[in-house]
Structure 1
Amino acid sequence: MKNKNTSLELREEYIKVFQKYSHVLTQNQYQIFHLYYIEDLSLSEIANILATTRANVHDTLTKARNNLKPFLFIE
């Protein structure tokens, strides 16, 4: 159960960081991050909306997280 709480805490932290530091993301990273974390859509749903592959959505989301990672837990 601790894993789930840690995961939820990390998700909440990413959302907080996104709201403050989204300017470090590319437009595509911003859009995918928003759809995944804010709109709570799945990778497949995002791929369908953006007419791309699930793998591309996953890769872009990973890059967005990596760009936001330096700002996690700094406050």
Structure 2
Amino acid sequence: MMLSLYRGIVGPTVLDRMIGVNAIGTKTTVLLILIGLLYHRLDMFVDIALAYALLNFIAVLAASRYFQKRKGLYEELF
């Protein structure tokens, strides 16, 4: 998790930062499922994890759309 956090903060390009933040979101979703298993409340935590995963997906789509329109993502890569 710390490596993803480092990549999300320091990442040399915007794309690396987006991948780092997306990895943190995915790991958090898995962690929520594991907490649900631990507390025997899987039904509640699956709903929370699905909502969080959907929010993570929409945020990545919005950020990629923003950088695509701004042309900052491709200028930085090439």
- TM more than 0.5: no
TM-score (norm 2): 0.33
The one of the two structures with greater contact order (alpha-carbon pairs below 8 A, sep at least 6) is 1
Question: Which has a greater percent of helix?
Answer: 2
TM-score by length of 1: 0.34
Over alpha carbons, which structure has the higher Rg? 2
